[in-house]
Structure 1
């Protein structure tokens, strides 16, 4: 039996409750229920979501909420109707309207509010010089400036935004570090080695439990969380690793402390016998009690329910009809206020796919002529109307990343209510 057949039998045959859409719906219902408890006029109107029925299976291919992709535009991007694209930066060239040279191998990114505009930050996944850059936009979307926010680091791959407005830039090397950076360039970056020394990929902050989730890009990597002593201050705290049976794809999990977060001489992933190992941890995104993370080795999107402390599969290319998986090369992930997830491909056919709260997965965009590249750094502007991402090696496919291109896509994205501003520290 091949992997697809084995997994379909093991997961679907046991009736495991792992439907992505239901996880979203449960999280949204839980949020509404908590709001109701705080409002005497609404008490009794909604049922406790944690007492409702269980979900039913990972996301499946279906029609995109945006319709079919059209012919490629002038930038070589296939988009749905009413969407347009533009190039923001090219590696080794000046960002339009500035004197700043855009970095090579653009990777993980995020957007931050800035006055009446916003800032997009992007890592550079090159050895030794790595670091991160930023582009500042005016309210009308025009580029105001571009500049460096981190330098002299090593293979900065992904990372994550914090609720207090900083960017965590992660080194994807053995004994890699995390650096906290300030998108507006107002402060020098600071090393945050208490978050552990390992082959870091992405980070996602959970403000309810006051932890930072972390992925590890190893074929036997782990899923971690950092619990700071004081929320908003990442200088001290403890690192824990998710623990579960090796073959478990759905069910309860526990957490155990990592004895030596510095990972030398014993790697962090090898210190706790009960730790669950994942095949190439990649993107990570937290929203409404669920932390979504991806693993590239098995093309999966996982969902960690922080309230129920359980793990589920939101997507697995082995659990869709044979040869019909729209999403392969699973990599970076980002979500919207409306509950949609956007997952970028490293390889595959160079798409960003959308996974809807109804559990439908479908292509949102496709890059043509970039077959030796990967899509990196997807991030939405604060109002949700613009999507930024990069082709790390562009059409040239240069292994050094000298052909990297960063794009912006504008259009009628599905959006929910905008989140409240983050509290001051």
Structure 2
């Protein structure tokens, strides 16, 4: 899976055109705070006669790969559809690698060569034709715990993240159910290995045994991973953590393009603001200089990575979730950030190399859940807007954000109150793929993108 340094940077340069959006988001420091929904966008949402997905006029969708369908490998499609990415396949096909956020006690699971025999999470890979029809699907990673999100690499793979730090010691053999009853039953969430790691899944080739050899990327840290994004210029990996007191990390690999070779884990610190709490009282659009503190104990026995970083002055974010790279910038969601815990979007601009800290700024914070309600996964569209997947109470929307920080509703889950997850565009930019997490449905959306 490893690449030579020269091959990595050659590949990074050629893939940037397909993975990175245009210039619309670069250098925009003055923007609205996103205090109201804008008329920008694609118009009012149209009621869906099928009761599944409401979209603006002119847009269509196709649903496939539902939980319980039969995979091409003969197993059933697992539930918990979550983070996802697209890759260009042969004959104009699109390859999707999709996470399944499942626990040992989940009623469905990914079948294959398991990292932990007691765990049911992992990934499936889907091959979709140019006319958005499912051609083939199969399990590609198995035996992991709550694969929430992740991120694509410039060298053609998906990094799948575990959002759990269970160990055999922290999951006893039996638990008392009901509580204080004196009756002990087998613990349905018992694990046999340590969790809280990232795993790499090649997108462009199917493993001979059906699923990849599940190798944890230990030096990327053991914590409640959410998502990653990679700077194709340097190979540095940026990581989010889903916790109320989470940190924002970067992993500097020893060999860019070969994450198994290890590297250095660091946490972001806002310069001259020791232990900054970013949940509220931060101005929108004001960049702050940052520096990075090294995490020495990247694979701790307990869930203490963020505690070490915070003790060294790192900034806290309110549940870091989706992250995406575009045109030299990173955008990531703090799902419960803001004075009303409705969510924030942050923008980080790295320096030219690992020695330069870069800047971070708050891009959007509406503080109105009617406008934005707990954004989770995020993607930068080919036309420059952000597309956010809501994971709030009640109705959930795909919310667009313009380069000026204006927000608009692009789609509504008309089926149930489950979250949207895994938004990603096809390599040609014509199709938006997204998941409804429960009961697990993947959707392809297309229409007049250039209308806006």
Q: Same fold (TM over 0.5)?
A: yes
Aligned CA RMSD, in angstroms, stands at 2.3
- What is the rounded CA distance, in whole Å, between the counterparts of 1:118 and 1:374 in structure 2? 24
Match status 1:215 vs 2:246: no
* 8 Å Cα contact 1:391/1:404 also seen in 2: yes
1:64 Cα offset (Å): 3.2
**Structure 2 unaligned regions, length at least 5:** 1-21, 104-118, 166-194, 338-342, 352-356
1:138 Cα offset (Å): 2.3
* Greater mean deviation of Cα atoms: 146-155 or 178-187: 178-187
The match for 1:228 among 253, 259, 265 is 253
Match of residue 361 from structure 1: 407
The match for 1:87 among 31, 50, 63 is 63
* 8 Å Cα contact 1:75/1:87 also seen in 2: no
* 8 Å Cα contact 2:424/2:433 also seen in 1: yes
Distance 1:266-1:333 versus aligned 2 partners, 3 A rule: closer
Distance 1:66-1:260 versus aligned 2 partners, 3 A rule: same
- What is the rounded CA distance, in whole Å, between the counterparts of 1:301 and 1:285 in structure 2? 11
Equivalence map 1:283-302=2 (5 Å): 283-298=322-337, 299-302=343-346
Encode CA deviations 1:96-134: one digit per residue, 9 max, x unaligned: x88552111111101111112111111111111100001
Equivalence map 1:16-415=2 (5 Å): 28=23, 54-60=29-35, 61-94=37-70, 99-116=74-91, 117-127=93-103, 128-174=119-165, 175-187=195-207, 188-189=212-213, 190-235=215-260, 236-244=262-270, 245=273, 246-247=276-277, 249=282, 250=286, 251-265=288-302, 267-272=304-309, 273=311, 274-298=313-337, 299-307=343-351, 309-318=358-367, 323=368, 325-348=370-393, 349-371=395-417, 373-393=418-438, 403-414=439-450
- What is the rounded CA distance, in whole Å, between the counterparts of 1:409 and 1:30 in structure 2? 23
Distance 1:210-1:293 versus aligned 2 partners, 3 A rule: same
**Structure 1 unaligned regions, length at least 5:** 1-26, 32-48, 394-402, 417-425
1:152 Cα offset (Å): 0.8
TM-score, normalising length: structure 2: 0.74
TM-score, normalising length: structure 1: 0.78
Distance 1:324-1:237 versus aligned 2 partners, 3 A rule: closer
1:305 Cα offset (Å): 1.6
* 8 Å Cα contact 2:374/2:390 also seen in 1: yes
- What is the rounded CA distance, in whole Å, between the counterparts of 2:306 and 2:230 in structure 1? 21
* 8 Å Cα contact 1:192/1:234 also seen in 2: yes
Encode CA deviations 1:312-346: one digit per residue, 9 max, x unaligned: 1111122xxxx574211211101122211100001
Which has the bigger relative contact order, CA under 8 A and spacing at least 6? 2
1:29 Cα offset (Å): 7.8
- What is the rounded CA distance, in whole Å, between the counterparts of 1:305 and 1:412 in structure 2? 31
